[in-house]
Amino acid sequence: PGVYTIPPVIFSYYDISKNSYEELSTEAIVVKVGNANSNQSQNPGQGVSLGVNRQAVRSISDDIRYIYSSLPSLAKGNLFFFGSVVYFGLLVMIFVLFLAIERYLSHRIERNRDIAGVRNRKAVKIAKAKLKRAGILLKEGNYSAFYMELHKALLGYVSDKLNLELSDISRDKISGLLYSRNIDNGIVDELLYLLDQCEYARYAPNPGGEGMDNNFSRAIDLISSLEL
């Protein structure tokens, strides 16, 4: 606090009407600074009295606040999950699961590349589906369609197991390959007999449902016993 004088401000300029430099000067300003609790106002005759009250500083807008000079206190956030045992355990589980899936997919791709192996594994499933269809035709008494489906089941099963194309299959080739794999002669003869019955039914009249039932049962037993 105290009394302070702001000196006058002198401004020089060139007056073209007088062809000379002129000076203008303001009056000196006396400023009277009071104590912090002083609420004196400005008086042009006696000077200016300024009082600063910290408590008088208020928010005049949402973005204008009192500026704190002290440092804020900082604390660590909640580290309950990140960096915890549960967190690292989940990472390990995800990694192991990824390796298991990758290994399974690689194994499956390799198996599917082996076309012969795929045909061999699906042979029984496909044959059973065809036999199921043949059983429906048997109940309906559809003679020609029944033997056609039975023929497909038997021939398809053998061709898949032996990795043969249907266009390249014959009685001699079937019997030769089966004998080379040490299949029992009785099973080979049974297969050839049923194939002959299916071929014969294409050109012969229907002898009755009894023969159809018998051949259907024999075909089921044959596929069950013919392990290639």
Same domain? For 89 and 23 the reply is no
Say how many residues make up the chain. Answer: 228
| Mean pLDDT in residue range 29-51 | 58
Same domain? For 108 and 38 the reply is no
- Give the Cα separation of 140 and 164 in Å (integer): 32
pLDDT at site 52: 46
Residue 196: pLDDT band (50, 70, 90) is very high
On the question of pLDDT at 47 being above 80, the answer is: no
Same domain? For 133 and 196 the reply is yes
Nearest by Cα to 152 from 168, 174, 128, 173: 128
**133 phi/psi in degrees, rounded to 5:** -65, -40
- DSSP state string for 1-26: -EEEEEPPPEEEEEETTTTEEEEEEP
| Mean pLDDT in residue range 190-216 | 85
Q: With respect to residue 73, please indicate whether it lies within any of the assigned structural domains.
A: no
Nearest by Cα to 160 from 198, 225, 115: 115
- Give the Cα separation of 137 and 154 in Å (integer): 16
On the question of pLDDT at 162 being above 60, the answer is: yes
- Side chain identity, residue 95: F
158: domain CATH number is: 1.20.120
Of 114 and 47, more confident: 114
Residue 13 domain boundaries: 2-51
- Side chain identity, residue 34: G
Q: With respect to residue 58, please indicate whether it lies within any of the assigned structural domains.
A: no
Which residue spans within 26-167 are E strands per DSSP? 29-33, 48-50
Q: With respect to residue 129, please indicate whether it lies within any of the assigned structural domains.
A: yes
- Give the Cα separation of 185 and 140 in Å (integer): 34
Residue 41: pLDDT band (50, 70, 90) is very low
Q: With respect to residue 146, please indicate whether it lies within any of the assigned structural domains.
A: yes
Same domain? For 151 and 167 the reply is yes
Tokens at 35, concatenated = 């104590």
Structural domain total, the chain: 3
pLDDT at site 79: 54
Query: What pLDDT digit, counting tens, does each position of 113-153 carry?
Result: 677 777 887 888 999 999 999 999 999 989 889 999 999 99
Same domain? For 102 and 133 the reply is no
Same domain? For 108 and 119 the reply is no
The pTM score is 0.49
Same domain? For 12 and 47 the reply is yes
